[in-house]
Structure 1
Amino acid sequence: LYTGFNQSNFDIEQEDINYEAYIRYRLKNTNFYFNTSYKHFLENEWTLSTGASISNDVNKIRVFANKILTNEIGAHLKIKLKKNLSNRFQLNFGAEYFNLDYNDTYLTEDELSFKSDYQDDLYAGFTETDIFFSNRFAMKLGLRGEYDKTTQAFNMAPRVSLAYKSSEKGQFSLAYGDFYQNPLVAYRKFDKTLDSEKSSHYIFNYQYTGNGKTLRVEGYYKAYDKLVKFDTEMPQFSSNYNNLGSGYAQGLDVFWRDTKNIKNLDYWISYSYLDTKRDYLNFPVTATPNFAPKHNFSVVTKYWVNEWRSQLGFSYTYASGRPYDNPNTSEFLAEKTKSYNNLSLNWAYLISQQKILYFSINNALGFNNVNGYQYTDVPNRNGVFNRREIRPQADTFFFIGFFWTLSTDKSSNQLDNL
């Protein structure tokens, strides 16, 4: 059994280029989550696994004098049966049920009230088989069927993966799969006929693990279909919605980690390349979304100094510029921000085995990072849309923390997570 409850209050004043004064935004969130699971070993080597969860998320939002109340209740039930038919063949199958009940109320400063709601039931059945052809070669076959009560649509999603162990420490794998996802509530509450969005994944992976080293290289291609589109600046009741959107993402991820070949040093390096374009939401043409930089690179190091009872670390992160839309040009999402750079330093001092004093400096060199731009809603007298930079609240900030691990295991602490 697991139960979680959280309540938070958030109050901030934000700059907006279209207003002289700062805009005050207030949010009160209450979240409850509960789940339970049960496993039972049946006769003839069958295993039964079940699980259930329920959640409730309530938001009270206030912007200017406008008030928004949202209430979302979700439930999930799952049952699965597993059997090892032989040492080369394993069978899994089961069923799932998802329920969503959402409603919101928008109250204007003139006391006008607008309400919307959305309820959905999703039923799914699945089966998977693991086939071991030899000690080096294995295959997983899967099939998932989903029925959406709202649209009365049924989707089938086949999936397959192959793995070949090329050496004692290395493995190649290939995978293909179709995946379906319901549109966000923000769209379906206005148009309940919207169909599920689809993605098809093609993945090639190589991984080497041994002698304290890990190398992982993964190339992928993902095709997106039936993405949601609408014809207004923001999704609203009067928007026209459809599932005619599409897109793709292709890229390469490389990860290297060495934990023991240099004494007291743990470090890892990662790089990702992403080429993606989509025609979805209110995009007038196919374009790269503003959340997708083409290149990402990071280095993280941790060095233990025994004489100081300390772990010293630094991390460097680089990301190429993100696309943004400049209304002063005719092209959509054609310009890019400057690249993102961040060099951070940290020091963890072990007071005792379970007590740690921690210091960190984020963006120690004070790089002037720009996350994007906000443009005015209307042009100035020269016909130009003015803009402002969207930047972090501070270029550099410091953190001092104390971590005390309470556990029956007196050797455990949070050092590996710092």
Structure 2
Amino acid sequence: MKIILNIVILLLSIMGFSQITVLGKVVDKKNIPISGVNIFIEGTYDGATSTENGDFIFETSAKGNQVLVLSLMAFETLKINIDVTNYQNKTIVLKQSINMLDAVVISAGTFRAGDHSKITALKAMDIYTTAGSNANIVAAMQTLPGTQKVGEDGRLFVRGGEADETQTYVDGIRVSQPYNASVSNLPTRNRFSPNLFSNMSFSTGGYSAEYGFALSSVLLMNSINEPADDVTNIGIMTLGLGIGKTSKFKKSSLSFDVSYINLAPYQLVVPQKTDWNKPVQAISGQSVYRYKCNKGLFKLYVTYDHTSLDLNQEDINYTNKIRFDLHNDNFYINSSYKGEVSDRLQIQTGLSFGYNKNTIGIVSDKLNNTERDFHYKLKFRESFSNYFKLNFGTEIFNTHFDESYTATTHSAINYGYKNIQTALFTEAEIMFSPKVALNLGVRGSNASVVDKFVVEPRISFGYKMAKNSQFSVAYGTFNQTAKQDYLKFDPHLDYEKASHYILNYMYNTNGKMLRVETYFKDYFNLIKYDSNKATYNSTYNNDGFGYAKGLDIFWKDSKTIKNLEYAISYSYIDSKRNYKNYTQQVTPSFVATNSVSVVTKYWIESLKSQLGLTYSYSSGRPYNDPNTNNFMAEKTKSYTDLSLGWAYILRPQKIIYISISNLLNTNAIYGYQYANAKNSNNIYESQAITPPANRFFFVGFFWTISTNKKTNQLKDL
């Protein structure tokens, strides 16, 4: 036994003599000692914690080249390659981590909707609960500053730009046809069910170099990564029926949403100004499949809808009404993957295909068109440190559009275009400190219809002045091919161009947010043509130009008054263009100089109800009266709307929702259509463009089936 003990002592002595001492000091960039830092040799248990003076010392049996790891909350984890034998009396500088709640966020030109955003202007469920929005994503976005509410259209108009100047993306991949089919002077709505999306980002300008081919704005929507529970949603509405289902599995989940809309029963109760032969009928389905891989997430999003309508529409130029018969089929599939290649490198890639077909009858004439769109995108994100990240990637768009017009007086006229757009982009995210951030980006792209390579620089800067306030600036140039209405007749038009200059101030504290933003947009190369309307025999050029400048203010408060949440938006815009067939630079017909929106939601505990009111105001919009000598000098009367939404919890997970628009029953006039020729009194006759009905009524019963009894309860919204 004594012999064994001596051997053990000898071995321990040998091991003791082989231990190497590692010692040093940890400080920050101001040379102030940091205590509590965990320091160790990677892959071993050898290490120590720094003292109040920043000193550390420990012994290790490791030899040669090793990795020394230093970690402490609120500081970047640091790994250093060292030679253990010679590593003594070294001073190590740790950098403060930028991943802190009070770090600056560049907010110029961007509104975010989603419960996990630091600068959320809308919660995801606001799409449902905003009075007057009727679960329409775009209608909810139209309550934000910088947007124009164009009642006869329904699409998203941003800061003096037409609706075609805004692009929509799902999980980073473009959607070429984001709106339902409609006819002239009847508003459309977007195709997406809010049920399937977790957050959204709406840019009013100055957006990232990752996105392009949009002169004004991008709307980014991200589908839910991982649903919280198995859930079934059933909706019975005055307009139709809907059902949604989400099922969770071990490493995957599947969601779908199906709806059927038929306006015929509703219009039997609520008289319409529109002369319908067959009111709008639509059936749609959307689905998202998710699969969690070892280091990433794969998602597959699929949607299909069919819409049909048949109506007789008045036209000032014809004695009899014009019959329009529309059938639309739309299919869209989007696959995306986001994951890690290594600890520092992330990959995001996706592929989409869209197919859209319209079959339109105009009296006895026929207009048929089809559009096929592909989009492929590959993006990498390299995190060199918390202070410097680099995004870079490439994408390709392939669009094929064909249209055929057949009249009783002549044979079919066929036209269309093919366009392949390619782009490269890179953007650096630089954090100089938690208070100072800079994004530098550049995008290079080419469109086959133009056959010209363009470079678009983008820059944005943010500075945090105090704990709850910051300002941001942004600049960028943007190019977009001519919209489909022109490109199908002349597929060789040049890019339209715009430059954005944005200055933003934001105050953001718990439950309150103030945003003040001023901007200037300069337009070049806008499309002009030489006829009353854009047709196949018009002559087109890129000689148009214009500008938009203005001020947007947004205030949101959910804390001052218990159970009350309200938001106030104000927009002032001065915008003029010389484009289309305009004879001079004037304010276009879709721009209202002043717009105000007030959105309120109040939870009434005793009634188990949420009451919502939305007030909207827009000053008069310009229109051209050919009976006067001044072009586009007349204005409509101002537009006002007060909408009510009331949600009542009938029983746990059963909700009745009632919505009424235009409580004050004001008569809205969106503009006027004038005759092409004078009448016998030497006057151009006109007719007002108005909504189909002064008021819109909606009643729905929504039943959620889930083991989580809090799901769909309004008090938690």
TM over 0.5: yes
Output the TM-score relative to the length of structure 2: 0.57
Deviation for aligned residue 1:406 = 4.7
For residue 365 of structure 1, report the CA deviation from its aligned partner: 1.3
Instruction: Give the aligned partner of residue 692 of structure 2.
Output: 393
> Can you list the C-alpha shifts for 1:79-100, whole angstroms capped at 9, x where unaligned?
0111111221111111010000
The aligned residue for residue 56 of structure 2 is: none
Give the match for residue 403 of structure 1.
Answer: 702
Aligned residue for 1:48?
A: 347
Take 1:135 and 1:313, find their aligned partners in 2: how far apart are those partners?
38
Alignment partner, residue 583 of structure 2 = 284
| Cα deviation, residue 147, structure 1 | 1.3
Partner of residue 235, structure 1: 534
State which of 316, 337, 362 in structure 2 corresponds to 1:17. 316
Partner residue in 1 for 2:367: 68
Q: Alpha carbons of 1:360 and 1:41: their partners in 2 closer, same or farther (altered >3 Å)? A: closer
- Measured after TM superposition, the shift of residue 111 of structure 1 is 5.7
1:408 positional shift: 5.8
- What does residue 331 of structure 2 align with? 32
Q: Which stretch of structure 1 is more off in the superposition, 384-393 or 51-60?
A: 384-393
| d(CA) in 1 for partners of 2:403, 2:671 | 30
- Judge conservation of contact 1:356–1:403 (CA < 8 Å) in 2: yes
Give the structure, 1 or 2, with the largest relative contact order (CA under 8 Å, sep 6 or more).
Answer: 2
- Partner Cα distance (1:65, 1:194) in 2: 32
Cα distance in 1 between the residues matched to 2:707 and 2:319: 56
Distance in 2 between the 1:193 and 1:111 partners?
Answer: 26
Q: Distance in 2 between matches of 1:352 and 1:218?
A: 44
The correspondence for 1:214, drawn from 513, 516, 529, is: 513
Give me the whole-angstrom Cα distance separating, in 2, the residues matched to 1:260 and 1:330.
Answer: 54
User: Aligned-pair distance for 1:412?
Assistant: 2.3
Superposition RMSD on alpha carbons, in Å? Answer: 1.6
Which of 362, 373, 383 is 2:682 aligned to?
Answer: 383
2:666 aligned residue: 367
**SS in structure 1 of the partner of residue 591 of structure 2:** coil
Partner of 1:334: 633
Q: CA deviation at 1:51?
A: 0.8
Given candidates 50, 65, 87, the residue that maps to 2:386 is 87
Change in 2 beyond 3 A, CA 1:245/1:34: same
Amino acid in the other structure paired with 1:192 = P
Q: What amino acid maps onto 1:313 in structure 2?
A: G
Matches of 2:460 and 2:695, distance apart in 1: 45
2:582 is the counterpart of 1:271: no
Cα distance in 2, alignment partners of residues 84 and 388 from structure 1: 60
**Residues 40 and 348 (structure 1), Cα distance of their counterparts in 2 relative to 1, 3 Å cut:** closer
Question: What amino acid does structure 2 have at the position aligned with 1:235?
Answer: A
The verdict on how the C-alpha distance between 1:210 and 1:243 changes in structure 2, with shifts beyond 3 A counting, is same
Question: Which residue identity is paired with 1:186?
Answer: D
TM-score w.r.t. the length of structure 1 is: 0.96
CA contact (8 A) 1:405 1:414 kept: no
2:466 is aligned, of 149, 160, 167, to: 167
SS in 2 for 1:187: helix
Name 2:552's counterpart in structure 1.
253
Task: Give the drift of 1:236.
Answer: 1.9
Confirm or deny: 8 A CA contact 1:302 1:312 kept in the other structure.
yes
Q: Rg bigger for which structure?
A: 2
Residue 222 of structure 2 is matched in structure 1 by none
Distance 1:349 1:369 in 2: 30
CA-to-partner distance for each residue in 1:31-53, whole Å, 9 max, x for gaps? 00001111232235211211111
- 2:303 match: 4
Query: Relative to 1, partners in 2 of residues 1:101 and 1:406: Cα closer, same or farther, differing over 3 Å?
Result: farther
Letter in 2 for 1:189: K
Q: Contact between 1:30 and 1:57, CA under 8 Å: does it hold in 2?
A: yes
Tell me if structure 1 keeps the 8 A contact 2:449–2:493. Answer: no
The 1:153/1:417 distance shift into structure 2, 3 A limit, reads farther
Give the conservation status (yes or no) of the 8 Å contact 2:449–2:492. Answer: yes
Return the offset for 1:193.
Answer: 1.8
Please list every run of 5 or more consecutive structure 2 residues that lacks an aligned counterpart in the other structure.
1-299
Distance 1:98 1:159, change over 3 A: same
Q: Could you tell me how far apart the structure 2 residues matched to 1:406 and 1:188 are? A: 49
- In the alignment, structure 1 residue 146 sits paired with structure 2 residue 445: yes
Could you tell me which amino acid in structure 2 is paired with residue 268 of structure 1? A
> Contact 1:322/1:336 (CA < 8 Å) preserved in 2?
yes
- How far the C-alpha of 1:65 sits from its partner, in A, is 0.5
Deviates more, 1:283-292 or 1:104-113: 104-113
CA distance in 2, matches of 1:58, 1:296: 36
Q: State which drifts further: 103-112 or 175-184.
A: 103-112
Q: State the AA in 1 paired with 2:450.
A: T
2:402 paired residue number: 103
Q: Identify the range of structure 1 (297-306 vs 108-117) with the bigger mean alpha-carbon deviation.
A: 108-117
What are the Cα deviations for residues 212-260 of structure 1, in whole angstroms up to 9, with x where unaligned? 1111111110001111111111122221111111100001111111112
Residue 369 and residue 154 in structure 1: after superposition, are their counterparts in 2 closer, same or farther (change >3 A)?
A: same
Distance 2:683 2:527 in 1: 32
Give percent identity, aligned residues only. Answer: 47
Output the CA distance in 1 between the equivalents of 2:716 and 2:477.
Answer: 34
Question: Contact 1:7/1:29 (CA < 8 Å) preserved in 2?
Answer: yes
Contact 2:609 2:714 in 1 (8 A): no
Quote the residue 2:265 is aligned against.
none
Q: How far, CA to CA, are the matches of 1:308 and 1:66 in structure 2?
A: 56
Shift, 1:211, TM fit? 2.3
Cα distance in structure 2, aligned partners of 1:198 and 1:234: 22
How far the C-alpha of 1:191 sits from its partner, in A, is 1.6
Aligned length: 418
Partner residue in 2 for 1:297: 596
Q: Distance in 1 between matches of 2:715 and 2:599?
A: 13
- Of 157, 182, 199, which residue of structure 1 is paired with 2:498? 199
Q: Deviation of residue 201 (structure 1)?
A: 0.4
Q: Distance in 2 between matches of 1:83 and 1:402?
A: 48
Mark the CA change 1:191 to 1:408 in structure 2 (over 3 Å): closer, same or farther.
farther
Tell me how far apart the structure 1 counterparts of residues 583 and 600 of structure 2 sit (CA, whole Å).
44
Partner Cα separation in structure 2 for residue 361 and residue 274 of structure 1 = 29
1:325/1:406 CA distance change after superposition, 3 Å: farther
Return the offset for 1:416. 8.4
- Using a 3 Å threshold, how does the CA distance of structure 1 residues 313 and 231 change in structure 2: closer, same or farther? same
Measured in 2, the distance between the counterparts of 1:232 and 1:124 equals 34
Find the residue that maps to 1:186 and give its secondary structure: helix
Cα distance in 2 between the residues matched to 1:183 and 1:75: 18
Query: Runs of at least 4 residues of structure 1 off by over 6 A?
Result: none
Gaps of 5+ in 1: none
Q: Distance in 1 between matches of 2:571 and 2:529?
A: 31
Task: Measure the CA separation in 2 of the matches of 1:62 and 1:333.
Answer: 32
**Structure with a larger share of its residues in strand:** 1
Once the two structures are TM-superposed, the CA of residue 407 in structure 1 deviates from its matched residue by: 5.1
Q: 1:408 to 1:122 in 2, by over 3 A?
A: farther
Task: Tell me the amino acid that sits aligned with residue 239 of structure 1.
Answer: S
Letter in 1 for 2:483: L
